[in-house]
Amino acid sequence: MLSRLSLFFKSLAIDSQQQENEPLSLELACAVLLCEVMRADGELSNEEQDKLSEVMKHTFCLSDQEVSEILTSAIQLSESATDFYQFTSKVNQHYTLEQRMNIVALLWKIAYADGELASIEEHIIRKIADLLHLNHGEYIQVKIDSTPSSS
């Protein structure tokens, strides 16, 4: 029994070291944040998944194959992540304020893709916006600009 536990913890350590050795790309970091919003309400709608693929393809000029690979990794990272910091810090290192605001706008697009905004989605977007160092006014402006018109 103890030997099995020991093997289990060693395998976790090896997996952790492999993940640490693989650099986190900017595209992957953004994809994980987008996946967090998509997964927030517990419902993975086709509309949200399609919107996420479209956003990744156009934002980062990726092929369908690249989008598929990145999203597969992003969903796995999203499911095992304990916080957003490792992803938002990557974005903060490489993006200007305007680009970070654009990322938050993309988060809103994913949240609204299924036609509903769950309060947990809004909460996660706010949390990510804070970690991306958007002040309250910037966050509200992006939210207003990203809200679908009711006409």
Q: Is residue 52 over pLDDT 60?
A: yes
Rounded Cα gap, residues 37 and 31, in angstroms: 10
Q: pLDDT tens, 126-140?
A: 999 999 999 999 999
pTM tops 0.85: no
Work out whether the CA dihedral 112, 114, 118, 123 comes out positive or negative: negative
The packing angle between helices 97-112 and 136-146, to 10°, is: 40
Q: For domain 27-146, give the CATH number.
A: 1.10.3680.10
